[in-house]
Structure 1
Amino acid sequence: MADQADRAERGGGRTGAGGDGLSLRELKKIRTRERISGEATRLFVARGFEQVTVAEVARAAEVSTMTVFNYFPRKEDLFLDRIPEAFELVTRAVRERGEGVAPLEALHRLALDLLEQGHPLAGVGFWDRHWWQVLVDSAALQARGREALEEFENTLAGLFAEAGGAGPDEHGPRLAAALTVAAYRSVYATVIRRQMAGVPVEKIAAEQWELLQHTYDVLSRVL
């Protein structure tokens, strides 16, 4: 989110109709969302997810509790605040892929790009072990994560069906989505375990690159 606001500000902040920038009002909303999420994460890492209330987050971010819920309908989304961004990136990667590029290849390229950029959604390097420990220690956060994976699988099934001209309820796209999500989940689970074990980030990133390549090779033969 910070990157989006920074790019808009460098581009002049407000743009007229048809422009690609963000208005000052939109920038303010982005900054408010970032501040709320940042304060929430700081408190959760320091004290644990269940031990912090939404009211405490609101006070730390200097906003009302209602404002917090306007930006984050669920407490879990304060910590897992990049879920919407993940959906957006994947949807754009599949729908805006080049001619002759299969959806699976588009997803593979996205995963490699995120890793190369050091993007938070790459799964390694951005968050330290303390962040992951909060997730591991919270049943509520883990439940939200599983729910997000199910939502992600449904979204991916729709994208695969759309790309292949299939119906939304056909089994083929749903099977492809389930296999894809399971495969990439195994990659990121491995990466997280390595990071929590104290393996240097540079080493994990190199391993993750190989894991992503292997995963793509296997999925390409199956799907």
Structure 2
Amino acid sequence: MTRRLGLREQHKRRTREAIGVAAMSLFFEHGYDSVTIADVARQAGVSVATVFNYFDTKEDLFFDEVDPLQAALVATVRDCPRGSSVLLALQEQVIYQLTAGRTDADADEVVRFHAAIVESADLQRHEQHIQLLRRQVLSQALAEALAADAHSFTAELAAAQYLAAEAVIGAELRSRLLGGQPLPAALTALQPLIAAVFTTLRTGLGPMVKAGAR
């Protein structure tokens, strides 16, 4: 019985992966907006119903790594040792995801991923929706880590600031890649920006005095 369940899970995993690969291949070749769920099903050799068994929406096909990345973000906060800086742990997570975690990435695929988002208003809207969901779960994780009330403004503000910082870093990466900079060089160039962004998070923005003569 255990072996049967194991084989079934393996089959489900392979089917999901095949659908995901088929979808991204079509999205990159024809553009996200031009591809339908029926196109993906045909490419993967499954029915449309089967696609929806694994993915709720077309956007989920594109942003297939959202759940594991969100889980990793929450785990970074929850696994931070007692007495250690949660902000430093989050900084190390950003460095890993954008640098060390990308060393084996297909550079061309990364570029096409970012280009597809820029070219599709639907993907841009869904990316914003993902950020709202991440803000909710990160805020909850931070409240637990800081032993704060579930609706603590500190946890909510910290989550919002972290995601804003992450967005600034991500936008810089996207700009460099779409401008033609090779992935390794772009990732290397991000490191001082990451350091500067997190220094600002730790020290605050200050009074933000307007510059220039009156």
TM-score bracket for this pair, using the shorter chain length: 0.7 to 0.9
- Residues 1:208 and 2:196 are matched in the alignment: no
Give me the whole-angstrom Cα distance separating, in 2, the residues matched to 1:173 and 1:82. 25
Asked if 1:105 corresponds to 2:88, the answer is yes
Who is 1:29 aligned against? Answer: 12
| Aligned AA (2:63) | L
Distance (whole Å) between structure 2 residues aligned to residue 215 and residue 65 of structure 1: 44
Flag the 1:25–1:151 CA change in 2: closer, same or farther, 3 A: same
Give the whole-Å Cα distance in 2 for the aligned partners of 1:179 and 1:126.
30
How big is the shift at 1:28? 2.7
Please give the residue correspondences for 1:170-185 in structure 2 after superposition, counting only pairs within 5 Å. Answer: 170-185=152-167
Check 1:213–1:23 CA distance in 2 against 1; reply closer, same or farther (3 A cut): farther
Unaligned runs of 5+ in 1: 1-13, 16-21
Corresponding residue for 1:132?
Answer: 114
Partner SS state of residue 127, structure 1: helix
2: CA distance between counterparts of 1:153 and 1:138?
A: 23
Q: Secondary structure, in 3 states, of the residue corresponding to 1:23?
A: helix
Tell which deviates more after alignment, 35-44 or 131-140. Answer: 131-140
Q: What TM-score does the superposition give when structure 2 sets the normalisation length?
A: 0.86
TM, length-normalised to structure 1: 0.83
2:27 aligned residue: 44
Q: Which has the larger radius of gyration?
A: 2
Matched-pair identity in %: 32
Tell me how far 1:65 sits from its aligned partner.
Answer: 1.0
Change in 2 beyond 3 A, CA 1:42/1:32: same
- Specify the SS of the correspondent of 1:50: helix
Q: Structure 1's 221 and 24: CA in aligned 2 closer, same or farther, altered over 3 A? A: farther
The offset of 1:119, in angstroms, is 6.4
What displacement does 1:46 show? 1.0
Q: Which residue type is aligned with residue 210 of structure 1?
A: P
Distance 1:64 1:104 in 2: 45
Worse overlay, 195-204 or 129-138: 129-138
Number of aligned residue pairs: give it: 202
Q: CA deviation at 1:126?
A: 6.6
Which residue identity does 1:108 align to in structure 2? Answer: Q
Which residues in structure 2 correspond to 1:124-203 (within 5 Å)?
A: 125=107, 127-203=109-185
CA RMSD of aligned residues (A): 2.3
SS at match of 1:90: helix
Which structure 1 residue ranges, 4+ long, deviate > 4 Å from structure 2?
none
Deviations 1:129-149 (CA, angstroms, capped at 9, x unpaired): 333222111111111000001
Q: Which residue of 1 aligns with 2:59?
A: 76
1:118 aligns to 2:102 (yes or no): yes
Alignment partners' CA distance in 2, 1:155 and 1:204? 29
